[in-house]
Amino acid sequence: MVERADATAARPAWGVAALLLAAGDALAARLGAVTVRGEISGFSRAASGHCYLSLKDADGAPALLRAAMFRRAAALLDFDPRDGMQVELRGRISVYEPRGELQLVVEAMRRLGAGTLYEEFLRLRARLQAQGLFDAGRKRPLPAWPRRVAVVTSPGAAAWHDVMTALQRRAPQVEVVLVPSPVQGDEAPPALAAALQRAGQLAGVDTVLLVRGGGSLEDLWAFNDERVVRAVVACARPVICGVGHESDISLADLAADLRAPTPTAAAELAAPEQGEQLRALQHRADALRRALQRQLDRQAQRLDAAALRMGPAAAAVAGQHERLRSTASRLQLAMQAQVPRRRLGLDLQADRLQRSVRAPLALAAARLVAQADRLQALDPRAVLSRGFVWVEDEAARPVVSVRALAPQARVRAVWADGTAQARIESIDPGAEPR
């Protein structure tokens, strides 16, 4: 046991890089060139022209193989690789030493057909497009000057930070409201649909932003869910969708009123840049001020020209004004002289009128007194006061003859100081008044 332990201890220790290099050489020598089939996931093309991707097992097994395709081989591709495509890769197995990962260095790539997710994406897109959900005619215009913007995303996502940074930098006057929702996983689609509905109903919200950072087709699949697409269409406010990178197209992008290539671009499209708008307003204000000054100068020149043309007319008007003032003075003096004479004449006429009216009034008053005396003498009450009696029957008719009476008839006798009821006892038609 001791000797075996000593022998093991005597072997040289591997360095990490040396061990990975040796493992890579062993794999390359053991396997040589290999051909593998699978589904593309997380495809990206660097500025250098190199392509990087992961290959998922076509049968759905939980296996993932990293792959790199350098610019020389990528230049020979006759199609654009996308996530979800089924492809056949030919290359050699190696170990990527900086991360200690197994990778396939791709020398050739051949397309086999669309992957399961991509096929589902195409089928769903065709069905929703046939229903008119992607029609340009139903797209709503964005408000030019939003005051409140709702952002539907995960509060821990980089997209939320990017949107906030862009809006604070470009349009600090815009209020931003976060409507939180998961953006990845099985629970994301119903949560995103509910969040879109809440965002559209918030008071004062002008625009809704639906954003998420980049990722593979699986990472972004929630934004291809039919529930999310229909929620985007049904949202009460215009929706800007900024999901993934510029090359990522989701069904939510197609249904939104405006698609942005990135979350930052969505924020930039949602609100105009404050400084730029202020400069535009200042430019317009300066243009209006210059136009107004030009108009004032033009009108001042016209006024000066009119004043020169009106010089002779103004002198004539001044002369007429002087003559009118002199005439008014003479009229006032003449009126002042005529008023006392006219007043004296009016006083004399008033005296004559009073004298002419006073005599007829006195004569009419005397006649009125005489008529009143006559009426007083004819008043029945005056006759009754001298001892006479007025007799009337029960119907208040005067009894002017004894023959109008009958025995036992009732009569009413009226004196100057009162009345009495009487009954006729007997009638003597032959009696003469004394």
For 286-326, write each residue's pLDDT tens digit.
889 888 888 888 888 888 788 788 777 777 787 788 888 88
| Fold of domain 16-114 | OB fold (Dihydrolipoamide Acetyltransferase, E2P) (2.40.50)
Domain definitions of the chain by residue range: 16-114, 146-273, 384-423
Of the candidates 27, 17, 43, the one whose C-alpha atom is nearest the C-alpha of residue 100 is 17
Q: What integer pLDDT is reported at residue 5 of this predicted model?
A: 47
For 341-378, write each residue's pLDDT tens digit.
778 878 888 888 887 777 788 888 888 888 887 877 77
Q: In the predicted model, is pLDDT for residue 1 greater than 50?
A: no
Percent of the chain scored above 70 by pLDDT? 95
Of the candidates 298, 297, 276, 295, the one whose C-alpha atom is nearest the C-alpha of residue 287 is 295
Percent of the chain scored above 90 by pLDDT? 28
Which residues touch 415 (CB under 8 Å, ≥6 apart)?
384, 389, 390
Class of domain 146-273 as given by CATH: alpha beta
Q: Which helix (H) or strand (E) holds 69?
A: strand 64-69
Mean pLDDT in residue range 392-401: 81
Joined together, the tokens standing for residue 414 give 């009226």
Mean pLDDT of the chain: 84
